[in-house]
Amino acid sequence: IKIRNIYLVEILIMSTVLIVYYNRSGNTESMARLIAEGAREAGAEVCLKLVQDTSPEDLKDADAVVLGSPVFYGQPSAKLLALLEDTVRFHGDFDGKVGGAFSSAANIGGGNETTILALLQALMVHGFVIQGNPVGDHYGPVSIASPDRRVEQQCRHYGRRIVALADKLHSTRKKSCCS
């Protein structure tokens, strides 16, 4: 845009997505990588981190945070729950960020949905915006054992949806500079 010999250049900032997961057998990590692929396809900058390498401050820096866990007695891993406990000191700082969750279990009825809902509840208390899915896995991707073709598609689709929502919510974050 040219205004009196001054050129304004609009720079859109890409959304940043942090995917934090606990891994035991490799299934949750596979899902995390698939979600990251979808998010990158949608144009996001993605950071994948194991929960033990993640601090509450890391969550503050991202536009979207997606948490993944295998099922432990119908709940997320203790390490993910501990990370969420540590975020209490930043209560309110996550308001308006996009949140999501995914899980893997050993069998059907193994606790995938209760695990995802536990993670989503914690994110909602912080003010994260959660997007459901009217088709497929409604609360977030789930896998029974190793991800199959359906799970792979759901994970990539989820990554793209997370970015689309983050882009909508943060589209006003434009920088203008003069050159």
Answer with the residue of higher pLDDT: 135 or 71. 71
Expressed in angstroms, the distance from the first to the final Cα of the chain is 11
Give whole-number Cα distances, 87 to 72, 79, 143, 156, 161, in Å. Answer: 21, 13, 27, 27, 25
Residues 6+ apart with CB under 8 A from 53: none
Distances, alpha carbon 33 to alpha carbons 43, 46, 102, 139, in Å: 15, 10, 12, 18
Contact present, 177 and 74 (Cβ < 8 Å): no
pLDDT digits (tens, 9 = 90+) for 85-107: 999 999 999 999 999 999 999 99
pLDDT number for residue 28: 97
pLDDT tens column, 115-174? 999 999 999 999 999 999 998 899 999 999 999 999 999 999 999 999 999 999 987 554
29/48 Cα distance (integer angstroms): 9
Structure confidence at residue 14 (pLDDT): 85
Q: Where is 64: in which H helix or E strand?
A: strand 64-70
H/E stretch holding 159: helix 149-169
Residue 176, pLDDT score? 33
Is residue 66 a contact partner of residue 35, using CB atoms and an 8 Å limit?
yes
